[in-house]
Protein backbone atom coordinates (compact mmCIF):
# COMPACT_ATOMS: atom_id res chain seq x y z
CA UNK A 1 0.00 0.00 0.00
CA UNK A 2 2.84 2.34 0.79
CA UNK A 3 4.35 1.68 -2.65
CA UNK A 4 1.11 2.83 -4.34
CA UNK A 5 1.06 6.02 -2.22
CA UNK A 6 4.64 6.85 -3.21
CA UNK A 7 3.80 6.40 -6.89
CA UNK A 8 0.82 8.77 -6.56
CA UNK A 9 2.99 11.41 -4.79
CA UNK A 10 5.67 11.24 -7.49
CA UNK A 11 3.03 11.53 -10.16
CA UNK A 12 1.39 14.51 -8.44
CA UNK A 13 4.75 16.23 -8.03
CA UNK A 14 5.64 15.71 -11.71
CA UNK A 15 2.30 17.26 -12.72
CA UNK A 16 2.98 20.31 -10.55
CA UNK A 17 6.51 20.66 -11.91
CA UNK A 18 5.30 20.46 -15.51
CA UNK A 19 2.61 23.11 -14.88
CA UNK A 20 5.15 25.42 -13.21
CA UNK A 21 7.61 24.93 -16.08
CA UNK A 22 4.88 25.57 -18.67
CA UNK A 23 3.77 28.78 -16.93
CA UNK A 24 7.39 29.93 -16.61
CA UNK A 25 8.00 29.24 -20.31
CA UNK A 26 4.88 31.16 -21.32
CA UNK A 27 5.86 34.14 -19.12
CA UNK A 28 9.35 34.23 -20.64
CA UNK A 29 7.88 34.06 -24.16
CA UNK A 30 5.46 36.92 -23.37
CA UNK A 31 8.28 38.99 -21.90
CA UNK A 32 10.46 38.50 -24.99
CA UNK A 33 7.52 39.37 -27.25
CA UNK A 34 6.72 42.52 -25.22
CA UNK A 35 10.35 43.70 -25.36
CA UNK A 36 10.48 43.10 -29.12
CA UNK A 37 7.27 45.06 -29.69
CA UNK A 38 8.50 47.91 -27.49
CA UNK A 39 11.78 48.15 -29.41
CA UNK A 40 9.93 48.09 -32.73
CA UNK A 41 7.50 50.80 -31.60
CA UNK A 42 10.40 52.98 -30.41
CA UNK A 43 11.94 52.72 -33.88
CA UNK A 44 8.64 53.62 -35.52
CA UNK A 45 8.16 56.64 -33.26
CA UNK A 46 11.60 57.94 -34.22
CA UNK A 47 10.69 57.69 -37.90
CA UNK A 48 10.59 59.13 -40.41
CA UNK A 49 14.31 59.29 -40.88
CA UNK A 50 15.01 60.69 -44.32
CA UNK A 51 18.31 60.81 -46.12
CA UNK A 52 19.30 63.05 -49.03
CA UNK A 53 18.19 60.54 -51.65
CA UNK A 54 14.69 60.36 -50.13
CA UNK A 55 14.53 64.15 -49.96
CA UNK A 56 15.61 64.58 -53.60
CA UNK A 57 13.03 62.05 -54.83
CA UNK A 58 10.15 63.64 -52.92
CA UNK A 59 11.26 67.09 -51.77
CA UNK A 60 9.46 68.46 -48.72
CA UNK A 61 9.94 72.03 -49.96
CA UNK A 62 9.68 73.37 -53.50
CA UNK A 63 10.65 76.67 -55.04
CA UNK A 64 7.44 78.23 -56.38
CA UNK A 65 8.83 81.50 -57.70
CA UNK A 66 12.05 83.49 -57.78
CA UNK A 67 12.59 87.05 -58.91
CA UNK A 68 15.08 89.87 -58.44
CA UNK A 69 14.00 93.38 -57.43
CA UNK A 70 16.47 95.87 -58.96
CA UNK A 71 15.22 98.79 -56.83
CA UNK A 72 15.58 97.07 -53.45
CA UNK A 73 18.40 94.77 -54.60
CA UNK A 74 16.48 91.88 -53.06
CA UNK A 75 16.07 88.36 -54.31
CA UNK A 76 12.54 87.11 -53.58
CA UNK A 77 12.23 83.34 -53.17
CA UNK A 78 8.79 81.85 -52.61
CA UNK A 79 8.81 78.34 -51.12
CA UNK A 80 6.03 75.86 -50.48
CA UNK A 81 6.22 73.08 -47.91
CA UNK A 82 4.71 69.96 -49.47
CA UNK A 83 5.39 67.38 -46.72
CA UNK A 84 4.37 68.12 -43.14
CA UNK A 85 5.96 65.06 -41.50
CA UNK A 86 9.55 66.23 -41.99
CA UNK A 87 11.16 68.46 -39.42
CA UNK A 88 13.34 71.06 -41.09
CA UNK A 89 16.27 71.87 -38.83
CA UNK A 90 18.17 74.07 -41.25
CA UNK A 91 17.45 75.84 -44.50
CA UNK A 92 20.20 77.17 -46.75
CA UNK A 93 20.02 79.36 -49.82
CA UNK A 94 23.01 79.29 -52.16
CA UNK A 95 22.81 82.40 -54.33
CA UNK A 96 25.05 82.18 -57.40
CA UNK A 97 26.05 85.09 -59.59
CA UNK A 98 28.32 84.84 -62.60
CA UNK A 99 31.36 85.16 -60.32
CA UNK A 100 30.50 84.15 -56.74
CA UNK A 101 28.20 82.08 -54.57
CA UNK A 102 26.78 83.45 -51.34
CA UNK A 103 25.19 81.27 -48.67
CA UNK A 104 22.30 82.40 -46.49
CA UNK A 105 21.63 80.13 -43.54
CA UNK A 106 18.36 79.83 -41.65
CA UNK A 107 17.72 77.72 -38.54
CA UNK A 108 15.65 77.76 -35.37
CA UNK A 109 18.48 79.57 -33.58
CA UNK A 110 18.38 82.52 -36.02
CA UNK A 111 16.56 85.60 -34.80
CA UNK A 112 16.00 87.18 -38.23
CA UNK A 113 14.96 84.11 -40.22
CA UNK A 114 12.07 81.73 -39.64
CA UNK A 115 12.01 78.26 -41.19
CA UNK A 116 8.92 77.46 -43.21
CA UNK A 117 6.53 75.32 -41.16
CA UNK A 118 3.60 74.87 -43.56
CA UNK A 119 2.05 76.37 -46.67
CA UNK A 120 3.96 79.09 -48.56
CA UNK A 121 6.55 81.59 -47.40
CA UNK A 122 8.58 84.22 -49.24
CA UNK A 123 12.19 84.93 -48.29
CA UNK A 124 13.84 88.25 -49.16
CA UNK A 125 17.62 88.04 -49.52
CA UNK A 126 19.91 90.98 -50.26
CA UNK A 127 22.17 90.73 -53.28
CA UNK A 128 24.00 93.65 -54.92
CA UNK A 129 24.23 91.85 -58.26
CA UNK A 130 21.41 90.02 -59.99
CA UNK A 131 21.88 86.34 -59.17
CA UNK A 132 21.85 83.76 -61.93
CA UNK A 133 20.39 80.92 -59.85
CA UNK A 134 19.38 79.87 -56.36
CA UNK A 135 19.83 76.46 -54.74
CA UNK A 136 17.97 75.38 -51.61
CA UNK A 137 19.34 72.91 -49.10
CA UNK A 138 17.38 71.41 -46.24
CA UNK A 139 19.10 69.61 -43.36
CA UNK A 140 22.28 69.64 -45.47
CA UNK A 141 20.68 68.06 -48.55
CA UNK A 142 20.41 69.87 -51.90
CA UNK A 143 16.77 69.87 -53.02
CA UNK A 144 16.41 72.16 -55.99
CA UNK A 145 18.24 74.70 -58.14
CA UNK A 146 16.30 77.32 -60.03
CA UNK A 147 17.46 79.85 -62.62
CA UNK A 148 16.44 83.44 -61.84
CA UNK A 149 15.00 84.94 -65.00
CA UNK A 150 12.16 87.07 -63.68
CA UNK A 151 12.45 90.64 -62.51
CA UNK A 152 10.06 91.70 -59.72
Instruction: State pLDDT tens for residues 40-56.
Output: 765 544 445 667 888 88
Can you give the pTM of this predicted structure?
Answer: 0.63
Instruction: State pLDDT tens for residues 94-119.
Output: 999 888 899 998 887 777 788 888 89
| Higher per-residue confidence, 26 vs 43 | 26
Distances 92 to 31, 63, 136, 145 between C-alpha atoms, Å: 47, 13, 6, 12
Amino acid sequence: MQNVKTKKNKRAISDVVSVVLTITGVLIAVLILALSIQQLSDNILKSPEFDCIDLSIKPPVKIINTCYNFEDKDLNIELEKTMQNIEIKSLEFLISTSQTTETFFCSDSCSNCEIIKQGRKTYYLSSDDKPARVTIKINGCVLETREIINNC
